[in-house]
Structure formats: structure tokens, C-alpha cells
């Protein structure tokens, strides 16, 4: 073990540059963690979804729907069968979203992927499954129960909770939360307190 550690120990004249480089990389990593608001993605706060501005229409249409009183984004879009699957799905989906957004590859019209659609369908049934087995409604016709259970919920409920046309103009009085400044508060106060030199 000691021989193995000696292999990674830099020569004497490289120690200071290696420490400085490691400090720089560690600092850049911490700054990236802070500026990307990475800890917020562990929560269920819907405002997290508008860290990327392209999700503004989805946020505003949800905020103007009846679902906002009872659910958040993760209640519908993330599996809830166990905690490990929930955070695995969030990490995988979030990494895909972050990569697409960073590389500027986001589409003009956002469409849900098959895996996400399956999660949404299961969550619709988790909350509203009793509507599919309502005895009074099923007595209307024999095939009604089969007709209701072999399709996606949004085949009929197209505007729930997001509108078909997703844009800020479809919800004219929408208020998407403004993103905070990435500049730390201590640096903002320092910049305000210094007199400008012109």
C-alpha cells in the first residue's frame, strides 16, 4: 500500500505546482457546483425547474393549473415506486437536460421521452386510479373501462396541467420566478461599496 501511495507522490519540485493546480481545479468545481445551483435539484421545489429558462412556459402553465395546489413537478414526472429509483431517474434525466442545455441543443418544442411518459402515466394512476374503477361510471357501457385504461391519460386530458401550445403567450398573466444573480452576495456588496474610478 505504501509503495502504491509513493507512486502518486510527486517529486519535491512538483509539490507546490501540483497543490496549486489541485486548488484551482477544486475551486472551479465548487464554483461550478454553486453557479449551477446543483443542490436545488435534490429538492422538490418547482422553482428548480426554471433554472433553465426554456422551462418557463411549462412552469407557468403548471402554476395556472389546479394541479399547483396539490402537486409539484416531481410528483408527476419522477417515479415514486422507491427512493432509489426516484433519485436515479432524477439524476439521469437531469444530466441529460443539463447536457442538452449546455450544448445549446434544446428543441424548439419540448416533447416528453418515452421513459418520462411512462412515469407520468403511472403517477396519474397513482393519484387518480380510482376514477378508472368507478362502478357508477363503468356501468354506462361495458367497454368504457377498457377504453379508459388502454390509453394515456393525456390522450383526453390534453390541457392537464400543461397547455397544448406551450408558450408564455398562452398564459398572458404568468409570472415565472426571476433567476437570482450568480454573483455571491458578499461580492455584490463589495462592488456597491467601492467608489467607481473614472
Average pLDDT, stretch 155-163? 78
Model confidence at 168, in pLDDT bands (50, 70, 90)?
very low
Residues 77-81 have a mean pLDDT of 92
Q: With 90 as the cut, is the pLDDT of residue 6 above it?
A: no
pLDDT at 77: 92
From CA 57, how far away is CA 133, in angstroms rounded? 34
SS3 17: helix
Rounded to a whole number of angstroms, the distance between the first and last alpha carbons of the chain is: 60
Range scoring the smallest mean pLDDT among 20-29, 123-132, 136-145, 156-165: 136-145
Residue 149 predicted with pLDDT over 80? no
Whole-prediction pTM value? Answer: 0.66
Minimum mean pLDDT range among 69-73, 113-117, 153-157, 163-167 = 163-167
Contact 48, 155 (CB under 8 A): no
Specify whether the CB–CB gap between 192 and 185 falls below 8 A: no
Q: Taking Cα atoms as reference points, which of 40, 38, 55, 171 lies closest to residue 112?
A: 55
Domain boundaries, the chain: 1-35, 44-174
- pLDDT tens per residue, range 80-114: 999 999 999 988 988 888 888 878 888 777 788 89
Give the model's confidence band at 4: pLDDT under 50 very low, under 70 low, under 90 confident, else very high.
Answer: low
DSSP string, 58-111: HHHHHHTSGGGGT--HHHHHS--S-HHHHHHHHHHHHHHHHHHHHTT---SS--
Given a cut of 50, whether residue 194 has pLDDT beyond it is yes
Greater pLDDT, 58 or 139: 58
Residue 136: CB partners within 8 Å, gap ≥ 6?
Answer: none
Taking only the tens place, the pLDDT of each residue in 21-67 is 999 999 998 988 887 777 777 788 888 888 776 777 788 788 878 88
Q: Give the CA angle between residues 25, 31, 32 to the nearest 5°.
A: 90
- CB-count exposure of residue 174 (10 Å: 0-12, 13-18, 19+): middle
Highest mean pLDDT among 8-17, 42-51, 74-83, 137-146: 74-83
Q: Find how far residue 125's CA is from the centre of its chain.
A: 22
Q: Looking at domain 44-174, does it have CATH number 3.40.50.300?
A: no
Amino acid at each position: 500500500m505504501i509503495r502504491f501511495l509513493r507512486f502518486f507522490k510527486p517529486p519535491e519540485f512538483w509539490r507546490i505546482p501540483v497543490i496549486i493546480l489541485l486548488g484551482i481545479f477544486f475551486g472551479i468545481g465548487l464554483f461550478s457546483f454553486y453557479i449551477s445551483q446543483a443542490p436545488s435539484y435534490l429538492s422538490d421545489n418547482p422553482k428548480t425547474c426554471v433554472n433553465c429558462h426554456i422551462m418557463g412556459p411549462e412552469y407557468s402553465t403548471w402554476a395556472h393549473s389546479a394541479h399547483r395546489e396539490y402537486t409539484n413537478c416531481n410528483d408527476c414526472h419522477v417515479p415514486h415506486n422507491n427512493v432509489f429509483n426516484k433519485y436515479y431517474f432524477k439524476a439521469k434525466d437531469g444530466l441529460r437536460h443539463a447536457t442538452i442545455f449546455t450544448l445549446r441543443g434544446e428543441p424548439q418544442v419540448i416533447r416528453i421521452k418515452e421513459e418520462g411518459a411512462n412515469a407520468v402515466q403511472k403517477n396519474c394512476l397513482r393519484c387518480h386510479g380510482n376514477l378508472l374503477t368507478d362502478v357508477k361510471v363503468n356501468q354506462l357501457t361495458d367497454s368504457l373501462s377498457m377504453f379508459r385504461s388502454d390509453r394515456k391519460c393525456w390522450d383526453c386530458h390534453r390541457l392537464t396541467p400543461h397547455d397544448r401550445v406551450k408558450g408564455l403567450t398562452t398564459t398572458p398573466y404568468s409570472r415565472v420566478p426571476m433567476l437570482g444573480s450568480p454573483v455571491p452576495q458578499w461580492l455584490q456588496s463589495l462592488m456597491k461599496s467601492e467608489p467607481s474610478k473614472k
